[in-house]
Amino acid sequence: MHGSQRVSSKVTEKTKQHPIIKINYLPRIIAAKFMLLICGLKLGWDVLQVQYLWLFVLGILYPHITYWLAAKSRDGKRQEHMNMNFDAFLTGMTVSILPDYYFLSTATIVLIANALYIGAFRLLLKNMLAYATALVFAMVYVWPFAGFVQTDWPVKIVNTLFILIHFGTFAILSYYLTRRMIALTKEVQSLSITDPLTGAYNRRYLDANLSKEIHRSQRLNYPITVIFTDLDHFKSVNDEYGHQLGDKVLADFVSIARKCIREDVDWIARFGGEEFIAVLPNADADYGALIAERIRQEVSEHLFEFEDKQVSISSSFGVVAIDNNDHNASAECVIASAEKLIATADDGLYKAKEKGRNRVEVVNLHPQESI
């Protein structure tokens, strides 16, 4: 394997670290510290005897060892599930030292909640089996069970703090995970409706939302305008200057167009190639022509640049508006209106091309033609 391949493999493995590894890390540290503290309160100075030294390993080193094992594993999720089984077994061993109802119930609740939070019922069964095995083993062979001891108030208080802090930590982690999930969902949704090159909406968004805009205009009885625009001789820009400059032209064009339309009201979608459609709700043909002319002028005066290459380009526009007075239009009529509106605007664009390009052509569409 080549050096670059080895580096790539290591990076890939690192990025595949399962999220439950980090989710469990801080709660495991908290649990280990509290268990060491509770055992110290119950045993007193006896906790320093050789037979209890493993408690210090559990309280100080164990969380970091399990994190390291899971982080280095090729299957982090599987290793973390094994770590949780170890957690359950060691918890059972710890609880069996001078067992009392408070510590037993606290440890059991924490284990059940943690297993359900991370891996649902299948992991819960495995954890409970490990927990029960440790309890039986320790109470029979290690520290023979002689009944439950009385729980002192300091132990009760620490148990209560343990539950509050442990579940509070999980609540905070859940909050931030939920926020992150919402942000990622919004990002995915945005990527699914956005053209990655220009930042304009894509054809999918146009097809889904133009019909909705028309339906809204029919329901509220206001006009809607569509502008169909195309960059003149764009193919020659790609052929002569390269696709990188061509891509820059498309991105800059959308940026210019956005500055000329109403923010949060009008929107632009990439229809395909160098063709774009601007949708202007509650705008008549005169306003649409004014916006199209503004964009045309801004584009014609703009110098598009990429590295040491520069180019000027013009654009042509077809503008069409529709007023809907039929409030009883069916869903099929709405779809037909969207298709007719785009086709008519395209006719206007074709006329602008025929008349020499770098111009705006307004075409009329009557309500009855849109149905």
DSSP secondary structure string, 32-68?
Answer: HHHHHHHHHHHHGGGGGSGGGTHHHIIIIIHHHHHHH
135 and 109 in a common domain: yes
Does residue 195 lie within any of the structural domains? no
Crossing angle (nearest 10°) for helices 331-354 and 203-220: 110
261 and 125 in a common domain: no
Q: Could you say which of 166, 190, 214 is where a domain stops?
A: 190
> Any bridge partners for residue 272, and if so which?
275
281 and 321 in a common domain: yes
Does residue 349 lie within any of the structural domains? yes
pLDDT tens by residue, 226-249: 999 999 999 999 889 899 999 999
Q: Rounded mean pLDDT of 205-222?
A: 90
Does residue 207 lie within any of the structural domains? yes
Q: Which two tokens stand for residue 274?
A: 């160098």
Give the least confident one: 80-94, 198-212, 314-328. Answer: 314-328
More confident residue, 297 or 337: 297
Does residue 198 lie within any of the structural domains? no
136 and 220 in a common domain: no
**What percentage of the chain has pLDDT greater than the value 90?**
65
168 and 234 in a common domain: no
d(CA 162, CA 149): 20
Beta-carbon count within 10 A of 247 CB? 14
pLDDT of residue 144: 86
Q: Report the CATH number that the domain containing residue 338 is assigned in CATH.
A: 3.30.70.270
pLDDT of residue 11: 42
The number of distinct structural domains making up the chain is 2
d(CA 363, CA 351): 9
pLDDT of residue 370: 41
Q: How many CA atoms lie within 13 A of 295 on its CB side?
A: 32
Res 5 pLDDT > 60: no
62 and 148 in a common domain: yes
- Contact by Cβ (8 Å): 217, 322: yes
d(CA 198, CA 295): 16
pLDDT of residue 276: 97
333 and 184 in a common domain: no
Q: Considering only CA atoms, which of 299, 224, 319 is closest in space to residue 266? A: 224
Domain that holds residue 177: 3-190
pLDDT of residue 337: 77
219 and 86 in a common domain: no
Does residue 107 lie within any of the structural domains? yes
pLDDT of residue 329: 44
45 and 184 in a common domain: yes
pLDDT band, very low/low/confident/very high, at 19 (cuts 50, 70, 90):
confident
Question: Which residues are CB-contacts of 244 (< 8 A; sequence separation ≥ 6)?
Answer: 306, 307
DSSP per position, 275-331: EEEEEEET--HHHHHHHHHHHHHHHHH--EEETTEEE---EEEEEEEE----TT--H
253 and 213 in a common domain: yes
> What's the CA dihedral at 76, 80, 81, 85 to 10 degrees?
150
pLDDT band, very low/low/confident/very high, at 325 (cuts 50, 70, 90):
low
Does residue 88 lie within any of the structural domains? yes
Does residue 149 lie within any of the structural domains? yes
Q: Could you say which of 135, 169, 190 is where a domain stops?
A: 190
138 and 84 in a common domain: yes
Mean pLDDT over each residue of the chain, to the nearest integer: 88
pLDDT band, very low/low/confident/very high, at 308 (cuts 50, 70, 90):
confident
257 and 185 in a common domain: no
Res 1 pLDDT > 60: no
pLDDT band, very low/low/confident/very high, at 60 (cuts 50, 70, 90):
very high
Q: Among all residues, which ones are annotated catalytic?
A: 274
> Any bridge partners for residue 362, and if so which?
319
Q: Could you say which of 190, 222, 243 is where a domain stops?
A: 190
pLDDT tens by residue, 164-197: 999 999 889 889 888 998 998 888 888 889 999 9
pLDDT of residue 364: 82
Give the least confident one: 1-5, 68-72, 247-251, 306-310. Answer: 1-5
pLDDT tens by residue, 335-349: 457 888 999 999 999
Q: Rounded mean pLDDT of 149-165?
A: 91
Beta-carbon count within 10 A of 84 CB? 24
Does residue 197 lie within any of the structural domains? no
